[in-house]
Structure 1
Amino acid sequence: MAAVPQEHLDALETLRSSILEASHDLRLGQIHLMERQTRRVFAALKYARNLHVAVNRLPSEILERIFLLVRPHYDDFVPRWPDRKSLQWTAIEGVCTRWRNIARNLPSLWTIIDLCRDDPAHVGRAFLARSVDAPLTVFFASLNLEDSENDIYVLEEILLAHAHRVEALHIAVNSDDDLHAVCVLFRHTLPHLRSLSMFFRDHHNYRSTEWADGLASLDGMLPSVRKLAVQRCPIWQFCTFSGLTHLALCGSNTSTYREKYKAKTLRQLLDCSPSLVELILDEYASDRGLSGDCAISLPRLRTLQAAWDLDKEQGCLQFLGIPETCKFTPHFGIEGFATSAPGSPLNLHILVHSPLLRHIHTVQISPDLTQTRRISIHPGTFFISGIQDFAHLAGIVDPAVQLVICDTYHITDEDGWISLLSTMPRIRSLVVLSYELSYWDIETLFAALCSPAGANLCTALESLHLRGFQDNCF
């Protein structure tokens, strides 16, 4: 490093001495002027120091990658939503001039548009300008459009002038009027939109049919959507979607308007999406609109998450033809996806340790239902509802089958377990899922397996899993 020129050091020393000598004669205005000049000197020294900081010796390409890592990242399917800290990363602009110039000339850094807190409109417009022609991901959430004037202004500009750039769009509103108002903003086709989320938080706020008119007006404007997530906003019943790879549905009900709009059924949607990879259904969606003469073939499905209501028949699995490798996660007793906060309109409650995640043949039985139901057998999955159907499985299941019993209300004693398991002698793995799995349930189960009458029960049994979901469970 070259030495600091001696004349600079001499000049600083001369300046210091002259100020001290003339300190009694200096006027206040002159002192303020010299202070401003001194601050400029310190700024120059700070700039010189920063040039020697290790991070500023990094090439611009490396800093660009670091900036992209610092910015929050969001999945394009059922994403977490931006929070109040989502823009903190923009502080990199204030570090130094070099960092600011690098950041502002990196379009991909400014492609996530956060319209969830009604920030000043110039913030969103700055992101649009700096992102140049890069693909956009847009989040819009509002509890009341009257309090979101800035966000609406930016959203309208995006849908008018940048529709061709939008690749992911996530919208959450709280009333049917607001839903209709947002739909009106769509005036051009979004040719490259791949991921769409539309969440209507309050299902009690349907006061008119304008929301349905708004959704119907979008038909044909979303030709490239492949990932769709909706909550109480059944856009899929009014618009044509085909070739979906990811689908999440919660609480979609348009029975009142079905005739007027010729609303599409869930079966029709799935029939048009044979390449579906991930499917998420809440309690409402998982047992409605799927009935038909044959199973819906989903040969590429890898993840299935479905609400499981233990109080009534669950019809989801009996209508789906899924591959053996599909991971199935049941959601017990869930009324819908959590939507209380604007920042997280869709929040799934997942049973991480669900035994049904194992890649093996599975028999799922709900003994709480006593009436005989039809048996539906699809690749890798047997779904039975009703105790009287158990006998039909004897001799036809895979030797390595896993038996999953959902709830045990009607198995009240040792004889009940013996009667239940005697029809399935070849099971290798037994799983019991129950809200209130008590010590009594466990004792009667083991008593049945160890009793003389149960000597021939489950002779091939290798593993036993017990799962309870209430705090008071053993």
Structure 2
Amino acid sequence: MHHQIAATETRELLIELETCVARGLQSHLIGGQSGRKVEDVEQAIGQIEGHLSVFLKQQRNSATPIGRLSNELILEILQYSTLDDDKYIHLSHKKTRLNVAFSLCTRWWRIAVNTPSLWTTICLPMDPNLFRLFRDRSDTLPLKIYLSTRNLKRNESPEASMGDPLPQLLPRLSRLYVDWDDGDYDDFCTFLSTHIGHTELPCLTSLTVEAVGAEWGGDVYKINAPNLSEYRFNGMSDQLKSLISFL
């Protein structure tokens, strides 16, 4: 019964709206019903129909169970869906992608865009446009950075793909994960010396290095991370000693 009353009221509202629009347009077109003027009205009506279609879609979505979720719960879902467990995801498999949940609907996207903590994991190499997106939307929050030479394309240099963007992130670098495969690349210490140098990394608290088969070179490099509290290494024992010397 309630549904029938609501449907009747809706029909009456639409009839009244249609009548008002028709009268307004008729008054507007009196004395000047040129083809151009009618076309302008048709175009305006088309735009209004598009806006109404979007509005009705939003109302329909808000009536679904997922549409009734609070912003706080949606944010919690987005945060959970961006988590990863480093115990089970190998460094070489890490890649930065846009979370598909962000694009579930306009509302979810708006929440994601305005939540810097959802953009704090950056995996290099990555598309330059995507890099700028994550860098800027993470605002001033600490960053988790992954470096992997295994993700480089054929003939792609780590200097350009990882070395160039890395210095932009150093002031906010909190957790650094490195998977360095020797290949045809310069040794790991040379890379660090070139792109980090003696820059102090006050936010860096955790360092994980996967360096089986990587070349270290003869030069000793000392990373300047006064607050480093966690260090994990997977490689040869002589490399471990070299690494400890610069830590």
Q: Which band: TM-score by shorter chain?
A: 0.5 to 0.7
Is the 8 Å Cα contact of residues 163 and 195 (structure 2) preserved in structure 1?
no
User: Would you say 1:70 and 2:67 are equivalent positions?
Assistant: no
Q: Superposition pairs for residues 351-430 of structure 1, below 5 Å?
A: none
Is the 8 Å Cα contact of residues 115 and 151 (structure 1) preserved in structure 2?
yes
User: Which whole-Å CA distance do the structure 2 matches of 1:14 and 1:148 have between them?
Assistant: 66
User: Would you say 1:92 and 2:96 are equivalent positions?
Assistant: no
Q: Which residue pairs with 1:227 in the alignment? A: 231
State the aligned residue count: 225
Comparing 7-16 with 146-155, greater Cα deviation is found at: 7-16
SS at match of 2:85: coil
Q: Which residue pairs with 1:328 in the alignment? A: none
More strand by share: 1
Gaps of 5+ in 2: 26-33
| Aligned residues: CA RMSD | 4.1
Q: Which residue pairs with 2:66 in the alignment? A: 55
Is the 8 Å Cα contact of residues 171 and 198 (structure 1) preserved in structure 2?
yes
Q: Which residue pairs with 1:297 in the alignment? A: none
- Structure possessing the higher relative contact order (Cα contacts under 8 Å, 6 or more residues apart): 2
Between Structure 1 and Structure 2, whose CA radius of gyration is higher? 1
Deviation at 1:109, TM superposition (A): 1.8
Q: Which residue pairs with 2:222 in the alignment? A: 218
Alignment equivalent of 1:80, drawn from 87, 90, 106: 90
User: Would you say 1:128 and 2:112 are equivalent positions?
Assistant: no
Is the 8 Å Cα contact of residues 213 and 235 (structure 2) preserved in structure 1?
no
More helix by share: 2
Q: 1:86 to 1:124 in 2, by over 3 A?
A: closer
User: Which whole-Å CA distance do the structure 2 matches of 1:119 and 1:157 have between them?
Assistant: 15
Deviation at 1:50, TM superposition (A): 2.1
User: Which whole-Å CA distance do the structure 1 matches of 2:187 and 2:48 have between them?
Assistant: 55
Is the 8 Å Cα contact of residues 78 and 197 (structure 1) preserved in structure 2?
no
Q: Any idea what the Cα deviations from partners look like across 1:286-320, whole Å, max 9, x if unmatched?
A: xxxxxxxxxxxxxxxxxxxxxxxxxxxxxxxxxxx
**Percent identical across equivalent pairs?**
21
Gaps of 5+ in 1: 19-24, 242-262, 264-268, 270-474
User: Which whole-Å CA distance do the structure 2 matches of 1:13 and 1:172 have between them?
Assistant: 71
Deviation at 1:92, TM superposition (A): 1.5
Q: Superposition pairs for residues 71-470 of structure 1, below 5 Å?
A: 71-75=82-86, 79-81=89-91, 83=93, 87-93=97-103, 95-96=105-106, 98-116=107-125, 118-120=126-128, 122-142=129-149, 143=152, 146=157, 149-159=160-170, 161-163=171-173, 166-173=174-181, 174-177=183-186, 179=188, 180-187=190-197, 188-200=199-211, 203=214, 206=215, 211-213=217-219, 216-221=220-225, 224-231=228-235, 236-240=240-244
SS at match of 2:99: helix
User: Which whole-Å CA distance do the structure 2 matches of 1:64 and 1:85 have between them?
Assistant: 22
Q: 1:231 to 1:32 in 2, by over 3 A?
A: farther
- Read off the aligned partner of 1:127 and give its amino acid letter: F
Comparing 226-235 with 133-142, greater Cα deviation is found at: 226-235
Comparing 150-159 with 27-36, greater Cα deviation is found at: 27-36
Instruction: State the TM-score, normalizing by the size of structure 2.
Output: 0.68
Deviation at 1:42, TM superposition (A): 0.8
User: Which whole-Å CA distance do the structure 2 matches of 1:152 and 1:113 have between them?
Assistant: 13
Q: Any idea what the Cα deviations from partners look like across 1:209-240, whole Å, max 9, x if unmatched?
A: 7x342xx2225536524231233696532343
Comparing 51-60 with 125-134, greater Cα deviation is found at: 125-134
- Read off the aligned partner of 2:99 and give its amino acid letter: W
Deviation at 1:201, TM superposition (A): 6.1
Q: Any idea what the Cα deviations from partners look like across 1:222-267, whole Å, max 9, x if unmatched?
A: 65242312336965323437xxxxxxxxxxxxxxxxxxxxx9xxxx
